Structure 1
Amino acid sequence: MPAFADAARAGAVLTLDLAAVRANYRQLRALGGSAVCAAVMKADAYGLGMEQVAPALALEGCRVFFTAHLGEGMRLRQLLPAGCGIYVLHGPPPGTAHDFLEHDLVPVLNDPGQLQEWRACARRLGRALPAAIQADTGMSRMGLAAADLAALSADPGWLAGVRPQLFMSHLACADEPAHPMNGLQRRRFEQLREVFPGVPASLANSSAVFLGTDYHYDLLRPGAALYGINPQPGAPNPLRQAVSLAARIVQVRTVREGDIVGYGARYVAGGTRRIATIALGYADGWQRALTGRGQAFVDGMAVPFAGTVSMDSITLDVTGIPEARVAPGQLVELLGARQGVDEVAAQAGTIGYEVLTRLGSRFHRVYRDDDRG
């Protein structure tokens, strides 16, 4: 079936510029100097499609990838060429060690129980098994606490059967360059790293890549920055926007003074207005919090949301826009050159990561790579 036919039937069209993703990867890799630049593919490549993004980055030279869950890692393994490493951030759920071995995945061990299970598997097989070790340096989310490491390392054989390939931690406030937690966590990381002499180290997520070489160590782990999310909110974004979204107009009507628009009668027309309804709503990830705050664009002109964001639709005030430009079937821009993911996130009172990962499955998706044809 021709792609244009699918697009015509869809309520909205989401476009991912793979050339921009690859350009962002190259920029991050260059900032890291001698550090290896990995790519985080969790949540289906932040909602944008692991099947398309991962192979594009592999062609760009990326050879190390991260997922959050085991199932994501198993799926990712089918998409990558031989020789690519895949780390699973949440480690092995109980009883799943065989899945890691079958699919050539490396667990990130976060607590003593995961370490013990991985060691037990190694004993059964009679060989050392690769793993990453994560330490908690102050985020209190995942990773071995300093007390865990001290207790475990008191036993000379605590890593018997485990071949550490990476020692890592995660920063809580990397998107705030002046936050004292960054320096505190780095110092703690340095101290704990002494337990793993000679093991490659990793501390930098997307934002930490921009904190400087003190945070780069041996391996960078960018995720959302690949898609143009600003790694340092409040500063100019150095990355290319990779995501655009346009929704189709379903209906256009004129309302009079005093007419209400949408659920809850939150919008009352202050005069004669033209209202366009578009086929996109909170079921597609366009949050209800954007009610009264959001906007779309027609021919570069901003048109505000009028009324409550619904499950499948949003109403726009298109008063003053030429009628030929807001007819049913035409597309209006929600994400693009005039409004990026970070701007939408600010309107919704959230972060760009949440906007991306909420993007729904009903869009017609277009993957463009102008650098490769």
Structure 2
Amino acid sequence: MDARGSRSSLAIARVDARGYQWANRGTAELKTFSDAATESTESSGTGAGGTPATRTGAANAGAILTIDLGAIRENYRRLAARVGGATRCAGVVKADAYGLGAAEVAPALAREGCRTFFVAHVEEGLVLRGFLGAGPDIYVLNGLPPGAEPDCAARNLAPVVNSLEQLTAWRRLAARRGTKLPAALQIDSGMARLGMSPREVNVASSDPGTLDGIELRLVMSHLACADEPASPANEAQRLTFERLAAMFPTAPWSLANSSAIFLGTAYHFDLARPGAALYGINPTPGKPNPMRPVVRLAARVIQTRELPGGTGVGYGHIHRTEGPMRAATISLGYADGWPRHAAAGAFYKGVRLPFAGRVSMDSIILDISALPSGALAAGDLVELIGEHQAVDDAARLAGTIGYEILTGLGHRFHRRYLDD
């Protein structure tokens, strides 16, 4: 089955926006989570990496992942407005739209007017073309692996060429086909990850035949420290990029990722490439998040119990109760992408319930002593990501970044997609 057919087979549990304004709902948040358990018996969306979500209802799932497509579209509008009309705004949907399902996210962005998309791998681009149809531009950030050129050309993908060798392979295919092929050219302006060195840029720009058969749609680079506004590396990279990109005066330029959009207009150029900010991750660390939250994750309580003082809890007994403790075990673990050494907690009706002991593969033990006795029972849902704990909060407590939390979310969740 092709990607378009695969998408059409995915049932989307759509819920209207009533009650989905976090600031106005208060403790109704978890009632909504509980209601979700009886709403649908259909699959909804895809798991990380495009894996189909389990085709069962929410009542059968250990956890529910709610993804607000309307919030993603709103974030796109905010970012597009910030860069202004002279700068186009793309959408980065690599890693299955940061784990949230490119089959749903990319068409939602397209409905908002996004016409340029970025993925990491050729295979991601081939699948995305099926979701989006022939119109939008799709760029492949990791460029052209040897042997991938025919597939890339057949689906009109534009590789982000990172070396003279990739450029030569693409040019030779264009000559064999007798047609121009689209490409972007990436300059390594100081991150030392991907892109042409200054020497290679000089070669590519000085030899008129180097770009024969190539429709150069974009010259781009990537900042290493965009989330650190005071870093001198940002200005140094921008100046290097401007100097080298000027060797291709007719091509549009692109430098800004999510955080660089907030560094100022000097970084915007012709095309901005937000990714994480679309999905609610704060592009301005240390400041209030200008993005609308996108994701909620709720896990089901499997069992509650009373533990006496001195009880060892979980693997290795790294947690030992100091006195009597009420505990709840929830159906979420590191197999679902939750970091094993996370020091986070869950929330129930606004009350924080700290983790007790290590995260297991399929479960986490919570200390629920702060709740009234009997307030939490098997089958109830507790919040891991949502109103009281954003993605960035969970990441900080786990010693990682929001990107890693989102992209690691597994395929065992029941996925619900909201839209305005």
| TM-score, normalisation: structure 2 | 0.86
Cα distance, 1:151 vs structure 2: 3.0
Task: Tell me the SS of whatever aligns to 1:289.
Answer: coil
Instruction: Tell me which residue corresponds to 1:318.
Output: 368
Question: Aligned partners of 1:19, 1:136: CA distance in 2, in Å?
Answer: 35
Cα distance, 1:93 vs structure 2: 1.0
- Runs ≥4 residues deviating over 2 A: 151-156, 322-325
Question: Aligned partners of 1:320, 1:96: CA distance in 2, in Å?
Answer: 56
Question: Aligned partners of 2:181, 2:398: CA distance in 1, in Å?
Answer: 45
Give the one of 305, 325, 335 matched to 2:385.
335
Letter in 1 for 2:341: A
Identify unmatched segments of 5+ residues in structure 2.
1-10, 12-38, 42-55
Instruction: Tell me which residue corresponds to 2:155.
Output: 103
Contact kept in structure 2, 1:58 and 1:81, CA below 8 Å: no
Instruction: Tell me which residue corresponds to 2:8.
Output: none
Cα distance, 1:236 vs structure 2: 0.9
Letter in 1 for 2:248: F
Instruction: Tell me which residue corresponds to 1:160.
Output: 212
Letter in 1 for 2:393: E
Letter in 2 for 1:76: L
Letter in 1 for 2:141: L
Question: Aligned partners of 1:332, 1:36: CA distance in 2, in Å?
Answer: 40
Letter in 2 for 1:71: E
Instruction: Tell me which residue corresponds to 2:65.
Output: 14
Contact kept in structure 1, 2:189 and 2:237, CA below 8 Å: yes
Instruction: Tell me which residue corresponds to 1:94.
Output: 146
Question: Aligned partners of 2:207, 2:272: CA distance in 1, in Å?
Answer: 31
Give the one of 270, 290, 297 matched to 2:347.
297
Cα distance, 1:166 vs structure 2: 0.3
Deviation readout 1:84-136 (Å, 9 max, x if unpaired): 11011111111121111211111110011101100110111122211100000
Instruction: Tell me which residue corresponds to 1:173.
Output: 225
Q: How large is the Cα RMSD of the aligned pairs?
A: 1.2
Contact kept in structure 1, 2:168 and 2:210, CA below 8 Å: no
Cα distance, 1:81 vs structure 2: 4.0
Instruction: Tell me which residue corresponds to 1:43.
Output: 95
Deviation readout 1:272-330 (Å, 9 max, x if unpaired): 0001000000010110121xx21100110001000111000000000131344310011
1:257 and 2:315 are equivalent in the alignment: no
Question: Aligned partners of 1:81, 1:151: CA distance in 2, in Å?
Answer: 36
Matches within 5 A, 1:47-66: 47-66=99-118
Per mean C-alpha deviation after superposition, the further-off stretch among 2-11 and 110-119 is 2-11
Matches within 5 A, 1:132-281: 132-281=184-333
Letter in 2 for 1:344: A
| TM-score, normalisation: structure 1 | 0.97
Question: Aligned partners of 1:63, 1:260: CA distance in 2, in Å?
Answer: 55
Question: Aligned partners of 1:246, 1:229: CA distance in 2, in Å?
Answer: 18
Question: Aligned partners of 2:365, 2:308: CA distance in 1, in Å?
Answer: 15
Cα distance, 1:152 vs structure 2: 3.4
Identity %: 57
Per mean C-alpha deviation after superposition, the further-off stretch among 225-234 and 96-105 is 96-105
Per mean C-alpha deviation after superposition, the further-off stretch among 254-263 and 148-157 is 148-157
Deviation readout 1:145-184 (Å, 9 max, x if unpaired): 1011123333232211212000000000000111101000
Task: Tell me the SS of whatever aligns to 1:183.
Answer: helix
Cα distance, 1:359 vs structure 2: 0.3
Task: Tell me the SS of whatever aligns to 2:341.
Answer: helix
Contact kept in structure 2, 1:38 and 1:222, CA below 8 Å: yes
Letter in 2 for 1:152: A
Question: Aligned partners of 1:246, 1:324: CA distance in 2, in Å?
Answer: 19
Question: Aligned partners of 1:154, 1:36: CA distance in 2, in Å?
Answer: 29
Letter in 2 for 1:199: A
Contact kept in structure 2, 1:298 and 1:325, CA below 8 Å: no
Contact kept in structure 1, 2:120 and 2:142, CA below 8 Å: yes
Contact kept in structure 1, 2:119 and 2:139, CA below 8 Å: yes
Contact kept in structure 1, 2:254 and 2:271, CA below 8 Å: yes
Question: Aligned partners of 1:152, 1:60: CA distance in 2, in Å?
Answer: 36
CA spacing shift, 1:104–1:151, aligned 2, 3 Å: closer
Letter in 1 for 2:381: L
Letter in 2 for 1:134: Q
Letter in 1 for 2:122: L
Letter in 2 for 1:246: A
Question: Aligned partners of 2:40, 2:158: CA distance in 1, in Å?
Answer: 38
Question: Aligned partners of 1:250, 1:354: CA distance in 2, in Å?
Answer: 26
Task: Tell me the SS of whatever aligns to 1:157.
Answer: helix
Contact kept in structure 1, 2:353 and 2:370, CA below 8 Å: no
Task: Tell me the SS of whatever aligns to 2:316.
Answer: helix
Letter in 2 for 1:153: S
Give the one of 36, 40, 47 matched to 1:3.
40
Letter in 2 for 1:327: A
Letter in 1 for 2:247: V
The aligned length equals 368
Letter in 1 for 2:302: V
